[in-house]
Structures are given as structure tokens and as C-alpha cells.
Structure 1
Amino acid sequence: MRRVGARVWIARIMLTWAVISAASLFVTTPAQFYIVRFLLGVAEAGFFPASCCI
């Protein structure tokens, strides 16, 4: 985050989160649901470095 800045970092996280959230529209099986929820958690984990370094 220190290289790119907070604005760019949070914008990337929000864009990634939005794409994964939109992908949840196409979930049809429980396995797909677990995969999408895991990826959503990974995307949200990007907020942790931002909260520690600000």
C-alpha cells in the first residue's frame, strides 16, 4: 500500500469485491458458493494492510 497509496489500494479492493460479488449471481451449487465466499473473504482481507499502515 505504501507504493501505490491508500486511494488506489482501496479502489482496487472495492473493484475486486464488486466483481466477486457480481459473480455470486451465477452460483448454482454449494461448492461454487463456498468458493465465491472464500474469494470474497480474500478480497476483503486486503483492507487489513490499509488499516495498519494509515
Structure 2
Amino acid sequence: MTKYLVIALLIIVALVVAYFTFVVATIKIAFGGIMLGIAAIALLVVWIMWKSKD
């Protein structure tokens, strides 16, 4: 009986680790997308300022 409990516990731990891995990856992708958006806006502002001085 304890063998089945250990196997069940290991499967639950593996599922929890996989779930948190995907959650962290989703958060990182969202954060990266926000940072890319901010960088694109900053680059656009710099380009507009550079063009307006000429």
C-alpha cells in the first residue's frame, strides 16, 4: 500500500511542478511582451525627436 502512496505522491509532485513551470513561463512571456512594447514606444519617441530636430 505504501508503494502506491509514494507513486501517487510523486505523480502529484510532478503535476504541480509542471503546472508551476507553465505558470512562470506565461508570466515571463507576458512581462517580455510588455517590455517589448515599452521599448518600441521609446524607440518611436526617440525617432520622432531625432526627425523633428532636422
Q: Which has the higher contact order (CA 8 A, sep 6+)?
A: 1
Higher helix share: 2
Larger radius of gyration: 2
Both proteins in one fold, TM over 0.5: no
Scaled by the length of structure 1, the TM-score of the pair is: 0.40
Scaled by the length of structure 2, the TM-score of the pair is: 0.40
